[in-house]
Amino acid sequence: MTMRVPHKDETFSEDQNAAEYLARHEKGAGTQFKAFLKDFHQLNPEGHFLEIGPGPGFLTAKVAEKKPLAQITALEPSPEMIYFAEAYLQEKGVGDNVRFIQGSIEDREVVESLGRFDFIYSTFSLHHWANPELALRHLMGRLNQTGTLFIHDLKRVSWLYYLPLGNGLFESVRAAYTKVEIISMLMSMGIGEKEITFKNPFPYFWFSLLIKNA
């Protein structure tokens, strides 16, 4: 079994050129979010959305474009990322129905202040959370009675664990969780396997986790 190595988050310099930063991240956004957007299209959610960890806002903009009537709240710990995300959404013309809140998913008071949601989603954030079980509990507590939680993230796999991959992927794979670890977290919360939809979309070191509130 490969041991999990916690992720060291990328630091952001205030004097870094915003245009270069956005261009570098936008370049791989299409591939990065392809599997999520495919499932999102099939789920076809409506109502109030909560995005956890939007970063510079690429996925936020895609969701807002596809669901112009949805009200989207985006919870992001980095004020610098919120600055870029708000500017990016305004540039794309989809910022009117999106509000950004600075805070941590592990802060109960912050999360409870957000309200309740029909659809909660997060991409490539779970492996950053210091206490993912606590974070998942907070998210489940914010779902409406018929709401859906959708998590898309990397999975720790042995065949990538030792490869010195670029762009931070090596560190992220080593920081990710296995399917067994994730299912164990959920079962400790009282969520049974029958309530969980766990998929491994190509290229197979990603996973999609879907939980629908009863």
Q: Is 81 left (phi over 0), alpha (psi -120 to 50) or beta?
A: alpha
* Structure confidence at residue 12 (pLDDT): 53
Task: Report the 10 Å Cβ neighbour count for 190.
Answer: 9
Q: Which amino acid is it at 103?
A: G
* Structure confidence at residue 11 (pLDDT): 52
Mapped to the 3 state alphabet, what secondary structure does 161-205 carry?
Answer: HCCCCCCCHHHHHHHCECHHHHHHHHHHCCCCHHHEEEECCCCCC
pLDDT-derived band of residue 53, with 50, 70 and 90 as boundaries? very high
Q: Residue 48 pLDDT > 50, yes or no?
A: yes
Q: Which amino acid is it at 58?
A: F
Q: Residue 81 pLDDT > 50, yes or no?
A: yes
The predicted-structure confidence for 187-214, as pLDDT tens digits, reads as follows 999 888 778 898 876 666 788 899 988 6
| SS3 at position 117 | strand
**DSSP annotation string for 83-99:** HHHHHHHHHHT--TTEE
Q: Distance between CA 172 and CA 124 in Å, rounded?
A: 9
Q: Distance between CA 21 and CA 85 in Å, rounded?
A: 12
Q: 42: Cβ–Cβ under 8 A, 6 or more apart, which residues? A: none
Once rounded to an integer, what is the mean pLDDT over residues 53-75?
A: 95
Note the pTM of the prediction, 2 decimals: 0.89
Give backbone dihedrals phi and psi of 176, rounded to 5 degrees, phi first.
Answer: -75, 170
